[in-house]
Structure 1
Amino acid sequence: MRAIHTYRPLWLACTVLMAVTSIAGCSDSGSAGNGQPGNAHPLPDVSGPEPSIPSLTPAAGGDPSRPIDFKGGGAVIRPDGSMAFPLDAYDSADDEAVLARAETALGQQCMRRKGLELPASLKLDKGPEQPAPYVIFGVIDMKTVKVFGYREPSPAVAKPSATPSATPSAKPSTGPSASPGTAPQADGDIPPAVAQAFFDDPRKGKVGCEGEARQKLRGAHPESMFMLLQRYRSEALTAAQRDSRVRRATAEWSACMKDSGFPYPNPLAPGHDRTLLGRGLPTPAGASLPPPSPAEIEVAVTDVTCKRRTQYLQTIAMVNAAYQHQIIGKQARHLREAQLKQKQDVEAARKILHGSP
């Protein structure tokens, strides 16, 4: 894989998310069933009275210069910026990795029958991943924004000694998308003949080697556990964003930002503000965008400060968790069915891998 030096703003992370539903402003090109009617379980109804959440004390906001460490109402916000919610209990990275490797093996077999080879950039050794919390909820960590602003941080987040003038290098996403029929963001050039043979084209009703592999492994109902969970997560988040408590926290955050001269309507808006990019800084050789400017970093620092003052993150995390709890209760049967099918698919995947070259 060749390295690409880039300064990717957060909104571009939406274009490479390994997700299958619209989440926090990131949308895919198809429906929840990805153009395959009847394969997706119906979404649960989360309308009705707003679920209860624990009360927050004024001190829960904490010092914005220190990493947030919060647990309440089924939600966890860790000092490293990661989060945990009730639906995460149904995740299994090991299972997804087995399925991904099996689909790669089947895809390779299909390509070889056509006299082609599957390039390294299209081979998977792990399954799809959720978007990072900062993509869904906005920037979180003060140390990170002082270096990266609203750019997607590199895997090795800046050390404490890093300064705002440090030059970040975000790692580009690689590998195929988890959404059937969606072309991947891959390193290197994929020859047209390879792309034509491998990728599905739902608009033309064409199934490529990726679709053939998926159908052989998953059968007539290819919705994976990951896809189901992502749809449920999206439904919970949508409900949370409409919840009166989150709307109130959003308004308080917006007022805090406006007091500092930054009139943004919600915490995702600054990361999508293209006017912040560069502000006159030169673009380094090999980069597509200039590094974060002092102006961008100032907005991001104020953003994190306002989130802590208003307890926006704690509020939306707990409300989101409450709606996920509702979904788990209402969709218990569907979740059990999906777990059973996942187990069957993984068993089939292991047999494929055992017999693959």
Structure 2
Amino acid sequence: MRRSRLLWVAGASLTVLTAVVGCSSSEGITGAKGTAESRGPEPSIPALSTGMEGDPSKPVSFRGGGAVVRPDGSVTLPLDAYESPEDETVLVKGETVLAEKCMRAKGLTLPPTLKLTSGPQSPPPYVLFGVIDLAAVKEFGYREPVPPANTTSRPEPRQKISPAVSRAYFDDPKSGRTGCESEARKKLRGGNQTPLFMIIQQLTAQSLSAANGDSRVKHAQSRWSACMKDSGFAYPDPLKPAHDRSLLGRGLPIPAGATLPPPSPAEIEVAVQDVKCKRKTAYLQTVTMVTAAYQQAYIERDSLSLHEAQQARTREVRAARRLLEAAK
């Protein structure tokens, strides 16, 4: 049986991403204002391609204005050029090596639960822009497809963290005590308080916020909403259905061993119409190209900060690789 997660659960990374901007200055990375009132004229985008309102059963595929949407549902935007999941994974593994040394110095062992094996991930396109693939929503509705669990082996139980390990590993903000997690990060990253991944997330959140306030995206949202209303579904924008708890599952029982009910016929019906309306209104083409235009503007605005952060990450990755090689 294939399991799935609701997109609003999968979208926790988007909540974190947008919170980055909410708890940071609205002036962006280098002091340039990022509010809608001060961002100036809306950036230009190429004319929308004709034929985008075609058969929704055929995958969306287009390239323009710095945005690329592929038939497999993947999306590339200008800030993606600065991302490197491989480098981020090397960094967290290097930090784990240093954290283990710190814990051993305190007479403790770092439990597997706290050993990082992969770097942070940016939200996937369907979290940012809503469901895209007609075939997928016919099966999963507003759920994120998750591969079936390996039934040949039982997962190891999550190891409990003892109070002593917790005190040694984590910071204590009240007392100002620094734990091994922070010590490892500081040793590897030095004085780099704003790593490249964080800058990318900040600029991504700003570009999404700016695009959401852009007149062209608002118009596309209104057209999508009107299209949905014609089919009897009242939603103001394409991100709302995946958060509609009155729709998701809609009374179906939760199967044994699952944590969610399967998508109901009603949920699938809405999701199918959602994708069709996106195609009819060229919503995905509009929002990705507008977002790309803002990202390109922010890249130009913060080119120095991005360049310096890239150089810092290169140095940090080099140091992390040395740590990992020595730990073999």
Q: TM-score, normalised by structure 2?
A: 0.88
Q: Which moved more, 1:6-15 or 1:208-217?
A: 6-15
CA distance in 1, matches of 2:327, 2:310: 25
Q: For the structure 1 residues 343 and 29, does the alpha-carbon distance in structure 2 shift closer, same or farther, using more than 3 Å as the test?
A: closer
The runs of 5 or more residues in structure 1 that have no matched partner are: 34-39, 157-168, 172-185
The runs of 5 or more residues in structure 2 that have no matched partner are: 151-155
CA distance in 2, matches of 1:314, 1:187: 44
The match for 1:181 is: none
Asked if the contact 1:87/1:233 (under 8 Å) is kept, the reply is: yes
Asked if the contact 1:214/1:222 (under 8 Å) is kept, the reply is: no
Give deviations 1:108-139, integer Å, cap 9, x for gaps: 22222333332333322332111111111111
**For 1:1-357, what aligned pairs fall within 5 Å after superposition?**
7-15=4-12, 17=13, 21-22=17-18, 27=19, 31-32=23-24, 41-42=29-30, 44-45=32-33, 47-154=39-146, 156=147, 188-193=158-163, 194-202=165-173, 205-356=176-327
Asked if the contact 1:246/1:319 (under 8 Å) is kept, the reply is: yes
Q: Quote how far apart the aligned CAs of 1:97 are.
A: 2.0
Give deviations 1:69-91, integer Å, cap 9, x for gaps: 11111101111111001111112
Q: Indicate the percent of aligned positions where both proteins have the same amino acid.
A: 54
Write the letter of the residue equivalent to 1:326.
A
CA distance in 2, matches of 1:187, 1:200: 25
Q: For the structure 1 residues 263 and 19, does the alpha-carbon distance in structure 2 shift closer, same or farther, using more than 3 Å as the test?
A: closer
Give deviations 1:40-94, integer Å, cap 9, x for gaps: 9446435000011011144123311111111111101111111001111112223
CA distance in 1, matches of 2:272, 2:231: 11
Q: Quote how far apart the aligned CAs of 1:347 are.
A: 2.0
Q: Quote how far apart the aligned CAs of 1:102 are.
A: 0.2
Write the letter of the residue equivalent to 1:299.
V
Rg larger in 1 or in 2? Answer: 2
Q: Quote how far apart the aligned CAs of 1:272 are.
A: 0.3
Number of equivalences: 316
CA distance in 2, matches of 1:266, 1:201: 41
Write the letter of the residue equivalent to 1:97.
T
Q: For the structure 1 residues 302 and 343, does the alpha-carbon distance in structure 2 shift closer, same or farther, using more than 3 Å as the test?
A: same
Counting helix residues as a fraction of each chain, which structure ranks higher? Answer: 2
Q: Quote how far apart the aligned CAs of 1:14 are.
A: 3.0
CA distance in 2, matches of 1:229, 1:135: 17
Partner SS state of residue 276, structure 1:
coil
CA distance in 1, matches of 2:205, 2:22: 15
CA distance in 1, matches of 2:103, 2:14: 23
Give deviations 1:263-301, integer Å, cap 9, x for gaps: 001111000001112222111112122111111111111
Write the letter of the residue equivalent to 2:103.
M
Partner SS state of residue 207, structure 2:
helix
Give deviations 1:304-350, integer Å, cap 9, x for gaps: 11111001110000000000110111111111111111112112212
Asked if the contact 2:21/2:205 (under 8 Å) is kept, the reply is: no
